[in-house]
Structure 1
Amino acid sequence: MADTVYDFTANRLDGKAESLADYRGKVLLIVNTASECGFTPQYAGLEKLQQQYADRGLVVLGFPCNQFGSQEPGDAAQIGAFCEKNFGVSFPMFEKIDVNGDGAHPLYRHLKSSAKGLLGTEAIKWNFTKFLVDKRGHVVDRFAPTTKPEELTGQIEALL
């Protein structure tokens, strides 16, 4: 059983594996994203957080997912181009993954068991569910898709 997010590896959009241990000592905001969702404009807020707090140790990590209304139909190249062109995304983006079900990425299994949702549920309900992780790799909190990135500044600053 994994203790921290540092125990996981995920593939970046370019297909290269990256250990989350590379982010040791950083505050992480891990988000399942989608390009054709009503919450897609949150990419702008996530990028703003990345720009505002990167020098203090925040890293936003984006994990595209097509499990909710097929709102992330593109391949890795299309997802990367969309994020860069429309929102100037500079934070790390990973390959499309599943966050629920038997095929859920091991990182997301860990995130969901570490910070349960409403009424103790583990399943991710929709795109742009956010997990805040402290500098030691422990999941601190989970936020619903309706929680705007800018609403997290107080908690991010407390962890930095």
Structure 2
Amino acid sequence: MDHFKKELLAIVTGVTLWAYPAFAATQLQPGEWQTTETGTENGKPVPPAVEKECMTAEEARDATGLVNEMKKAMTGQGAQCQTADIQQNGDTVTYTLKCAMEKQFIFNISGTYTLQSPTRYAGRMKSEITMMGQKTTADKAIEAVRIGDCKK
């Protein structure tokens, strides 16, 4: 189960970083983006995580498909998922997503992202995973900046 939990956290973190910012009034620019995630897991500080990913023009234009991809990835693991709430107010988006698998696994995630420009956004994500009665929490700040064109 630990491997499943780590794999699921990786899927959720990776997809969540891209899932919501493009909803807002400001449209993100496609290209290579660097995302830095800082915060805590189970109340303890964790080292910053830095990732670089290529955002396609389609992803920059409409991130709603990525919300469905997150649900699809988790559903592929056997979870029943629902998007509980997505709201936009100008350049700020808030969301929650809840998934469950046979009451052995319950996953709740919520967050807020604000587009600061077409090449920068920042946000906060909180998650709670309960697996076989054991709860794991995370509270992360996310900063993302476009660093150039995608490498081929």
**TM-based fold match above 0.5:** no
Name the structure where strand makes up a greater proportion of residues: 2
| Higher RCO (CA 8 Å, separation ≥ 6 residues) | 1
| Structure whose alpha-carbon radius of gyration is higher | 2
